[in-house]
């Protein structure tokens, strides 16, 4: 197994020393879910590179969105973003620095959808929110002087799952996507992948976390055969150019690889970008781990080239 980046290892050791629990520890109660959300928000604030500007919060659509304008506009594409956090964590302003960085690095207006969270709002409500927020953003493209016909999608973790579903929905409506960025996506609720076992303990996201957040999102829904949950199992032909980024020490690594391979097999311009020494969550580690900051910068440069 590849060793973790030294700064990642130091960060994980610091959290272990102070007794940080697993991300989804205690989420079998309402109080535990609230505590996990607070804990996740605090960890992001501790490790992310801060943003210089606050977003414009819009709540006049079907779902609140947070609009991030870049310091310098370099494209008229509209980027719609969905945050990570296992469909349970990460709402509100937690992801503002991450979405703001995406806007500044790409020179694009980024509309971040503040979708409702599980378990209060289980599948398919978060997906419906992303689809609704996307449609609303396209309808309001003139508000930010962007081209409603040049839509791009981006998300990490659970957000990557949601925007992959949105990309399929647009494809089915014969609406193009100029580029999609999926960072450590969970694209398959049905498969079993070796990386869940190999990286299931000691690397921020645990195998237990994967099970816990899936249960919180699904509730009583049966994932088998539902491509809204498992976009890897859909007909992927006709999707736009897609960047799939993985972390080498992530339980979701192999599922992300499998998704990139399935996209390529379907004739999609798919680019797999692997980061062997990083862990799940690295888009939020940009202020604490130089290698994570460099990885995010490289992914954003490639995404910017797709949507320019």
Q: Which residue's entry shows tokens 């999926």? A: 182
Alpha-helical regions (H) of 107-219? 125-139, 158-172, 194-198, 207-218
- 151's enclosing H/E stretch is strand 151-156
Gap between the Cα atoms of 174 and 138, Å rounded: 15
**Measured CA distances, 106 to 79, 89, 278, 301, 308 (Å):** 10, 25, 23, 7, 8
Report the 10 Å Cβ neighbour count for 181. 30
Q: Which listed residue (250, 254, 293, 300) is catalytic?
A: 250
The DSSP output letter for 183 is E
157 as an active site residue: the answer is yes
The catalytic position among 209, 280, 293, 300 is: 280
> Which is the catalytic residue, given 157, 195, 214, 230?
157
φ/ψ (deg, to 5) at 284: -95, 5
Task: Round to whole Å and give the CA distance between 252 and 254.
Answer: 6
Q: To which H or E segment does residue 274 belong?
A: strand 270-275
Residue 304 to residues 63, 90, 166, 243: CA-CA distances in angstroms? 26, 24, 20, 11
DSSP string, 5-18: PHHHHHHHHHHHHT
User: Among all residues, which ones are annotated catalytic?
Assistant: 157, 250, 280
């Amino acid at each position: 197994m590849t060793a973790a980046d030294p700064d990642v290892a130091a960060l994980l050791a610091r959290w272990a020393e102070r007794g940080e629990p697993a991300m989804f520890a205690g989420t079998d109660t309402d109080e535990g879910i609230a505590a996990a959300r607070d804990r996740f928000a605090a960890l992001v604030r501790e490790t992310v590179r801060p943003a210089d500007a606050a977003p414009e919060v819009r709540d006049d659509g079907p779902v609140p969105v947070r609009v991030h304008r870049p310091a310098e506009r370099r494209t008229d594409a509209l980027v719609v973003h969905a945050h990570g956090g296992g469909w349970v964590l990460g709402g509100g302003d937690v992801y503002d620095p991450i979405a703001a960085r995406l806007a500044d690095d790409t020179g694009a207006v980024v509309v971040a959808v503040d979708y409702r969270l599980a378990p209060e709002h289980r599948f398919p409500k978060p997906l419906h929110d992303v689809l609704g927020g996307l449609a609303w953003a396209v309808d309001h493209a003139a508000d930010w002087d962007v081209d409603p016909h040049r839509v791009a999608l981006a998300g990490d973790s659970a957000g990557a799952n949601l925007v992959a579903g949105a990309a399929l929905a647009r494809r089915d409506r014969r609406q193009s996507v100029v580029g999609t960025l999926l960072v450590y996506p969970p694209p398959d609720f049905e498969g079993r992948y070796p990386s869940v076992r190999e990286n299931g303990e000691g690397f921020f996201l645990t195998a237990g976390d994967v099970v816990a957040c899936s249960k919180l999102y699904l509730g009583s829904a049966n994932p088998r055969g539902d491509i809204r949950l498992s976009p890897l199992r859909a007909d992927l032909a006709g999707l736009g150019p897609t960047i799939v980024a993985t972390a080498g020490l992530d339980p979701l690594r192999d599922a992300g690889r499998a998704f990139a391979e399935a996209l390529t097999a379907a004739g999609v311009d798919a680019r797999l970008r692997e980061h062997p020494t990083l862990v799940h969550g690295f888009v939020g580690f940009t202020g604490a781990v130089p290698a994570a900051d460099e990885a995010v910068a490289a992914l954003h440069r490639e995404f910017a080239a797709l949507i320019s």
